[in-house]
A and B are shown apart, each in its own frame.
Chain A
Amino acid sequence: MVTLDSMQNGSDEEVLALVSENEEFFGLLIRRYENRMLGYVRKITGGSTETAEDIVQNIFIKAYVNIYSFNKEQKFSSWLYGIAHNECIDYWRKNKKHSGVISLDTSEEIMAALKSEDDLFLGAQQQWDAQIIRRALDGVPNKYKEVLILRFLEDRSYEDIAQILKKPVSTVGTLVRRAKRIFAEKMKQEKI
């Protein structure tokens, strides 16, 4: 009998195979990916924590409903990021006015870092840099922004990005190259 504890160190695909028997295994997958998904959605949409949480809930529910459509040739994380990508596109469509707006959370994070006592200056500096990068990133079109985030912030391989965006690997390479060029131009505009 496979228990939840025994599967703590199991691969995603192994856990997924057990979801049909016991729904609690799906909880294990949620715990594994909730923070990554929240971070990714916040970076992509630029929305608040609440908005990101709503989107992440939708992502996991879609994953639950379509769990049997998972292709074993694919990585579970890529499949989940693919669902997240579709959800973000839906969000952009519904909230065209808000897309590309800088999240208020960044300034909140800076304030939090300033209030913290340990290594005050370094923390604030890092947050400040992050805010500048995010501002430059917000100027990049959504298509390229997503590629940049996946490649450099989420550290995904070209193959993974191809599976997430449903595009050929060669196209992903072109997108990354263009995204870097656009981002560099935006950084110049920000005088960095």
Chain B
Amino acid sequence: MRLEEKIFQRIERENIRMRPRWFFVLRNFFHWIFAFTLMIGASLAMGLAAVSLQEGAFFGNVPMYFWGTVFAGLFVLTGRRFFKVGFMRFYKYGYFVLILALMVTNSSLAFFASKAGAVDALEARLETIPAYKKLTAPEKNIIQEPNEIKGGVEQGNPVLQQQETDKNTKDDKIEKGKDFDENQATASGYSSELAKPAAESRVTKTDNLKNLEEKLPEDKNEELEKDSNAGLVKNKEAEKDTEKELEERNEVVPQVKGAETESEPNSDDAATQKGGGEFSEARSDD
């Protein structure tokens, strides 16, 4: 039996049919779509790698390495796909021409995508994914930030503990101010009951001023500073007066030390004055 007959018999026996023309047209269309999608993906990965490089150093830049690897993978896949679907256009030229053409196209697309803000938008979207955020978060450098770390040796093993940086809350400041004022008041021989409200009002004032400074523009800040300097002079004058007054009272206090109730109004003054003094220091520091 001739080969031709054998083939036709097999076609009939196995009910083999020609694939319709639309099948190839559709398949070709999807191949091109896939190739272009890969190319856009590669361009975005390139843009993200470039942004990561701009934001950080070359060595140890994990996001850049990540996006660089993604770009390399997508680039190879894009090249293969384009060579396959557009074979009759590309086979006359070497791989080098295809790689060069893809590189130029990818770079241009990445450039336009970052100019249009697509890369930043994508990065912002990716930041919402916890796994990606973990990947891109910079590692704590113990050598460069030793103040952030405290610890010691526990049962022969070194133990590192990270300090809680947000400890310095308003309440802590008030507590610290209260302790300070209490000590001062005790040293001066006055009651410490009014120390806490004084410290509280001082901290609130400082916080309010800081908030104001942040909100105000620079020229307003300068004006405020002038006023503040004038206030400082006044404060110093008031301090001197108070010191004089205190000195006079100290002479009286040992005689009535047993009756603490009498000293209360004075301690309030002292705390307020001290508070004013500390506030002045805080202002001058700023």
Contact = CB atoms under 8 A, between A and B. Distances in A.
B3 A56 contact: yes
B124 to A, nearest CB: 42
Given A163-B91, A168-B95, A171-B95, A68 B7 contact: no
A189 interface: no
A61 B11 contact: yes
Interface of A: 20, 23, 27, 30-31, 34, 38, 53, 56-57, 60-61, 64-69, 71, 73-74, 159, 162-163, 166-171
Contact of B93 (A56, A68, A168): A168
Given A27-B8, A53-B3, A61-B11, A67 B18 contact: yes
Nearest to B21: A68
A71 B86 CA distance: 11
Most buried by B among A67, A167, A168: A168
Contacts of A69: 19, 24
Interface residues of B, number: 24
12 contacts: A20-B18, A27-B4, A30-B4, A34-B4, A57-B7, A65-B18, A68-B20, A68-B24, A74-B88, A168-B92, A168-B95, A169-B92
A57 B19 contact: no
B6 A57 contact: yes
A106 to B, nearest CB: 22
Contacts, number: 66
A163 to B, nearest CB: 7
Contacts of A169: 91-92, 94
Nearest to A163: B91
Contacts of B36: none
Contacts of B93: 168, 170
B87 interface: yes
Nearest to A57: B7
Nearest to A33: B3
Pairs A-B, 6 closest by C-beta atoms: A170-B94, A68-B21, A30-B4, A69-B24, A34-B3, A168-B94
A65 B19 contact: yes
Interface string B4-18: 101110110000111
Contacts of A171: 94-95
A115 B93 CA distance: 51
A168 B89 CA distance: 10
A65 B95 contact: no
A167 B91 contact: yes
A61 B10 contact: yes
Nearest to B87: A166
B91 A64 contact: no
B7 A65 contact: no
B34 interface: no
B126 to A, nearest CB: 37
A30 B18 contact: no
A171 B90 CA distance: 12
Contacts of A60: 3, 7
Interface in B84-143: 84, 87-88, 90-95
Given A53-B3, A74-B88, A64 B11 contact: yes
Contacts of A30: 3-4, 7
Nearest to A169: B92
B94 to A, nearest CB: 4
A20 B10 CA distance: 18
Most buried by A among B3, B11, B87, B93: B3
B10 A57 contact: yes
Contacts of B4: 27, 30-31, 34
A159 B19 CA distance: 28
B157 to A, nearest CB: 57
Contact of A162 (B7, B17, B21, B91): B91
Given A68-B23, A68-B24, A166-B84, 10 more contacts: A34-B4, A57-B7, A65-B17, A68-B19, A68-B21, A69-B19, A166-B87, A169-B94, A171-B94, A171-B95
